[in-house]
């Protein structure tokens, strides 16, 4: 049987994030960076606030999410090393439409708005990199919105596990995400998400230990994802 090449949007964005880091370090001496540490659950920025600078993650993972009127959480994105959650609001000079909080211990560099604006104006390479990153993020979010509208939960779960396998690729312990967070990430409810995970376990695609998910068969996940395109 022909093997399908496994690629995800996380892989295609990694090089862009690394370029952001290299360009920022080149433009601004390391001593000018303010490192801030966040504990799990601590807010990095909040919906409705005005961006006062750029958050650049050095270690750990953070979730970007929105809440509905009945306080139901929808995770839009999981940001990890080299990412700048909320940068699009800073570029557009608008209030945050989402919130961001640490999913584990997070260390992030904070660059004040005026310094970041100066860097963009004086550094064409940095401006080009952020423009490229913004374009990739728009395409990725449009794809996710389309999948939310047309893919069943099983297909969305397969996509999420493929993406999360890239996000957690440096963590040998597997994908560490609560069932509620995973349900929020794929736009489902906890009960349905647990049922779909149980099906994948019976098919020997994954195995779980508590909240930790280990993937055994990425090829099968990709086949499930492509089945609903």
- CA dist., res. 102 & res. 57, Å (int): 10
State pTM to two decimals: 0.83
CB atoms within 10 A of CB 203: 12
Say whether pLDDT at 167 is over 70: yes
**Cβ–Cβ under 8 Å, residues 183 and 190:** yes
The pLDDT assigned to 25 comes to 61
Say whether pLDDT at 47 is over 90: yes
**Residue 202 exposure: Cα atoms within 13 Å on the Cβ side:** 6
202 pLDDT tier (thresholds 50, 70, 90): very high
- CA dist., res. 189 & res. 102, Å (int): 22
β-strands 175-176, 99-102 pairing: unpaired
Say whether pLDDT at 85 is over 70: yes
**Cβ–Cβ under 8 Å, residues 161 and 147:** no
Beta strands in the chain (DSSP E): 34-38, 43-45, 53-59, 62-67, 73-79, 99-102, 106-112, 175-176, 206-209, 212-215
DSSP 188: S
Q: Token pair of 21, please? A: 């880091």
Range name among 67-71, 142-146, 185-189 with the lowest pLDDT average:
67-71
**Cβ–Cβ under 8 Å, residues 96 and 51:** yes
**Residue of 58 and 71 predicted with greater confidence:** 58
Q: What whole-number percentage of the chain has pLDDT above 70?
A: 84
**Residue of 14 and 193 predicted with greater confidence:** 193
Range name among 48-52, 56-60, 128-132, 175-179 with the lowest pLDDT average:
128-132
Residue carrying the six token digits 């690394």: 18
54 pLDDT tier (thresholds 50, 70, 90): very high
Q: What whole-number percentage of the chain has pLDDT above 90?
A: 53
- CA dist., res. 183 & res. 193, Å (int): 6
The pLDDT assigned to 174 comes to 86
2 pLDDT tier (thresholds 50, 70, 90): very low
Mean pLDDT of 56-70: 91
Mean pLDDT of 77-94: 93
């Amino acid at each position: 049987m022909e093997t399908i090449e496994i690629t995800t949007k996380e892989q295609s964005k990694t090089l862009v994030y690394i370029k952001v880091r290299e360009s920022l370090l080149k433009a601004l001496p390391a001593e000018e960076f303010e490192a801030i540490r966040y504990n799990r659950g601590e807010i990095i920025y909040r919906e409705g606030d005005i961006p006062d600078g750029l958050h650049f993650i050095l270690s750990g993972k953070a979730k970007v999410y929105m809440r509905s009127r009945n306080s139901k959480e929808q995770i839009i994105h999981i940001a990890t090393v080299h990412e700048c959650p909320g940068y699009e609001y800073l570029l557009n000079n608008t209030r945050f439409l989402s919130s961001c909080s640490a999913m584990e211990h997070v260390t992030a560099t904070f660059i004040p708005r005026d310094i970041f604006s100066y860097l963009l104006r004086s550094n064409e390479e940095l401006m080009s990199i952020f423009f490229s990153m913004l374009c990739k993020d728009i395409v990725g979010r449009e794809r996710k919105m389309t999948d939310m509208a047309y893919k069943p939960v099983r297909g969305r779960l397969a996509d999420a596990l493929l993406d999360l396998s890239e996000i957690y690729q440096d963590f040998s312990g597997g994908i560490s995400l609560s069932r509620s967070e995973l349900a929020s990430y794929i736009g489902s409810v906890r009960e349905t998400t647990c049922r779909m995970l149980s099906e994948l376990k019976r098919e020997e695609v994954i195995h779980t230990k508590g909240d930790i998910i280990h993937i055994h068969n990425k090829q099968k996940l990709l086949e499930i994802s492509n089945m609903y395109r």
